[in-house]
Amino acid sequence: MVEFYISAISHFNGHISSVLVHTGVAGNRLSKGLVVDKSTVIQRINQGQTFKTVTYNYTQGEWRAGAKVTVVNIGGNLFLRTMPDSTLRDNLGNLLLIDEIR
């Protein structure tokens, strides 16, 4: 099954509204990426597709897959979250902002 990678996010009213999604390609590279709204990612996760964060390691010159992205329901609202661990760099809130890389 294809894994999808999120490298950047966009906020609206303090919450993630869209993400930059890539697929992996040969040679530790990623596809160009497509901005996708949060609701589409939530729908795809609920259908069984896998999303992970991804960050670029400038020292090693390679992309590194990070935390798995999940859906949580808080007060009837659905949100994207990463699995909690002790690594901050691959959490959704620490990814690049889409507006910064356009």
Structure token digits, residue 54 = 């991804």
* Number of domains observed in the structure of the chain: 1
33-69 tens-digit pLDDT:
999 999 999 999 999 999 999 998 889 888 888 899 9
Distance in Å from the first CA to the final CA of the chain: 30
The pTM of the full predicted model, rounded to 2 decimals, is 0.90
**pLDDT of res. 99:** 86
pLDDT band at 84 (very low <50, low <70, confident <90, very high): low
SS3 85: coil
The answer, yes or no, to whether residue 27 has pLDDT greater than 90, is no
Name the burial class of residue 21, with classes exposed (0-12), middle (13-18) and buried (19+) by CB atoms within 10 angstroms of its CB. Answer: buried
Q: Within the chain, how many helices (H) and strands (E) appear?
A: 2, 8
The domain in which residue 58 lies consists of 3-101
